Amino acid sequence: MRPNRLRAFVPVIVLPLLLALPRAVTGGPLQAAPPAATHPAPADDLTQWEPEIAAFEASDRAHPPAPGGILFIGSSSIKMWTSLAEDFPGLPVLNRGFGGSQIHHVTAFVPRIVLPYKPKLIIFYCGANDIASHQRTVDDTIDDYKEFVRTVRASLPQVRIAFISAAPNPARWALKDSYTDLNRRIKAYSDADPLLGFIDVWEAMLGDDGQPRPEMFIEDRLHMNANGYALWRDLIGIYLRAQWPHA
């Protein structure tokens, strides 16, 4: 009788020990597996931008920008903003846009065309090309922007970064739902961080019919003309006046 009683007690003793094991090992209740990560950024060949990046570096050696300024960086809409200094007179703006880039490309060049300037404020426009490539989802694009922020903050923890919303344009109007989703979610991410900002250009670039205003674009219906940049000047100027001393 005694051996049988002992066998009866064994499950009673062992079962609580087994149930407690995850708590003892992990320091708390057993946690569910984290959600799967989105696709990592592809390992692109960056050589296509090397001439542009090298030209920036040559310009920096010849005329070193003063540290602590306002860095505009991103894709072709930044690159083609040739009137940037004239549009923001008296402000220490610096243009380091390079055409066709996606967010992970910009991140790859942070050590060369962001960190050397030690900017106090970064105005960032990129992400539209990512989605248009059909190789990066909205989730991927958001993750890539967060990685850009992390990369910059690792060296410049107090820098302010403002994301210009994806702009509506006739050439990519079929992607409008993805772009509005991107804008909404980047705004929510930015609103939760006092050092991040979001500049909405989407609504102002739509006409009364809810379509992109054609007078804002050059013939390719993708890039802006002087009218588009004048609108951006006004919208971004509102942000700069709120964030930059004496703007």
- In angstroms, how far apart are the furthest CA atoms of the chain? 97
Q: pLDDT tens digits, residue range 81-94?
A: 999 999 999 999 99
3-state secondary structure the chain: CHHHHHHHHHHHHHHHHHHHHHHHHHCCCCCCCCCCCCCCCCCCCHHHHHHHHHHHHHHHHHCCCCCCCEEEEECHHHHCCCCHHHHCCCCCEEEEECCCCCHHHHHHCHHHHCHHHCCCEEEEECCHHHHHCCCCCHHHHHHHHHHHHHHHHCCCCCCEEEEECCCCCHHHHHHHHHHHHHHHHHHHHHHCCCCEEEECCCHHHECCCCCECHHHECCCCCCECHHHHHHHHHHHHHHHHHHCCCC
More confident of the two residues 127 and 43: 127
User: Whole-prediction pTM value?
Assistant: 0.83
pLDDT for the residue 244: 87
Q: pLDDT tens digits, residue range 141-151?
A: 999 999 999 99
**Predicted confidence band at 42 (pLDDT cuts at 50, 70, 90)?**
low
Residue with tokens 């006092």: 194
Average pLDDT score over residue span 8-24: 39
Q: pLDDT tens digits, residue range 216-244?
A: 999 999 999 999 999 999 999 999 999 98
More confident of the two residues 21 and 3: 3
pLDDT for the residue 246: 56
CB 110 within 8 A of CB 122: no
CATH code for residues 65-243: 3.40.50.1110
pLDDT for the residue 245: 74
Q: pLDDT tens digits, residue range 58-86?
A: 999 999 999 999 999 999 999 999 999 99
Q: Where are the domains of the chain?
A: 65-243
Strands 121-125 and 196-199: unpaired
Share of the chain above pLDDT 90, in %: 80
How many CA atoms within 13 Å lie on the side-chain side of 245?
Answer: 3
pLDDT for the residue 176: 98
Q: How far apart are the first and last CA of the chain?
A: 91
**Predicted confidence band at 27 (pLDDT cuts at 50, 70, 90)?**
very low
pLDDT for the residue 38: 56
Which two structure tokens, joined as six digits, stand for 41?
């950024």
**Beta carbons within 8 Å of 132's beta carbon, 6+ residues apart:** 172, 175
Average pLDDT score over residue span 116-135: 97
Q: pLDDT tens digits, residue range 164-210?
A: 999 999 999 999 999 999 999 999 999 999 999 999 999 999 999 99
CB 165 within 8 A of CB 206: no
Strands 160-164 and 93-97: unpaired
CA angle 161, 168, 176 (to 5 degrees): 105
pLDDT for the residue 40: 63
